[in-house]
Amino acid sequence: MTLKIYDTKEQVAEEFSEYFRDLAASDQTIHVALSGGSTPKIIFDYLAENFGSEINWSKIKFYWGDERCVAPTDSESNYKMTVDHLLSKIEVPFFNIFRVLGENDPEEEAQRYSKVLSDELPIVNGIPQFDLVMLGMGDDGHTVSIFPDSISLWDAKENCVVATHPDSGQKRVTITGKVVNNSKAVAFLVTGAGKAEKVQEIVMLEGDFANYPASLVKPISENLTWFLDRDAAKNLDFS
Ligand code: 6PG
């Protein structure tokens, strides 16, 4: 586990963008699972505005680690957020974009997307393998759309399952733990004081407990990087 701590969200965006640029420098096609929510907005804006012309986007295939079961035009849609902050600003072939069809029946879409991952990604250990999975983390320690009250979904045998937001009841399609932990690299992008308690518990007590989905992120590759701002990292004690 690598911790990268920066003073501000903007610096997190800058550092992650350089990390992503370096990953994308490969001649190979890379498969990336994007995170949702609000944190990626500043990161995608920075990435598009500062590396939009430098990165060969035709070598990058975009997927989503989770998506809300809403129309792609809905303000809740992670796809819409990504279009607004990244995809609308870069030259990426439409056929490199594999969105979760949030407008579909959730169970049918989870099955369809599971097959998309199996068909499009290299299969390693019998599981689709991303080159990078970007993750956010909720204040409650959820990640992708697996929440503490349904943490058993993390161990589902499927590539994707349907989850339910504990407060809103919103249905979501999410990748599962086996796909996350089979990725060549995982990057947690976590900012804000609201995340500090869980960051402390997960980072400082690594392996000593596992009752938040985010604490179950342990890629087989051991290539896990936390990009944190000072607020999210404020409880970490390195003395
Ligand atoms: C989603 C995300 C979710 C998100 C966390 C953090 O669809 O909401 O995938 O896992 O990453 O909830 O969200 P914020 O970045 O908005 O704090």
Number of domains, the chain: 1
Residue whose pair of structure tokens reads 């086996």 in the numeric block: 178
Closest protein CA for atom 2 of ligand 1 = 36
Q: What ipTM was assigned to the predicted interfaces of this complex?
A: 0.96
Model confidence pLDDT, tens digit, residues 148-189: 999 999 999 999 999 999 999 999 999 999 999 999 999 999
- CB count within 10 Å of CB 109 equals 21
Q: Is residue 153 part of a domain?
A: yes
Residue 218 domain-assigned? Answer: yes
Domain contains 150: yes
**Partners of 82 in the beta sheet?**
none
**Is residue 74 a part of any domain in this protein?**
yes
Residue 237 domain flag: no
Cβ(211)–Cβ(151) below 8 Å? yes
Does residue 178 contact residue 218 with C-beta atoms inside 8 Å? no
What's the start-to-end Cα distance of the chain, in Å?
18
Q: Confirm whether 66 is domain-assigned.
A: yes
Question: pLDDT tens digits, residue range 214-237?
Answer: 999 999 999 999 999 999 999 998
* Residue 204: domain span: 2-230
CA nearest neighbour of 90 among 136, 134, 59, 133? 59
- Name all residues whose Cβ lies below 6 A of ligand 1: 35-39, 66, 78, 136-138, 142-145
Task: Examine the pLDDT at 50 and tell me if it is beyond 90.
Answer: yes
Closest atom of ligand 1 relative to the 68 alpha carbon: 7
SS3 119: helix
- Ligand 1 centroid to Cα of residue 194, in Å, is 13
Q: Does the pTM of the predicted model rise above 0.90? A: yes
- Expressed in angstroms and rounded, the spacing between residue 82 Cα and the centre of ligand 1 is 13
User: C-alpha 47: how far from its chain's center?
Assistant: 15
The domain that holds 110 is classified in CATH as 3.40.50.1360
In a domain, 239, yes or no: no
User: What's the gap in Å between 145 CA and the centre of ligand 1?
Assistant: 8
Task: With respect to residue 177, please indicate whether it lies within any of the assigned structural domains.
Answer: yes
Largest CA-CA distance found in the chain, in angstroms, rounded: 51
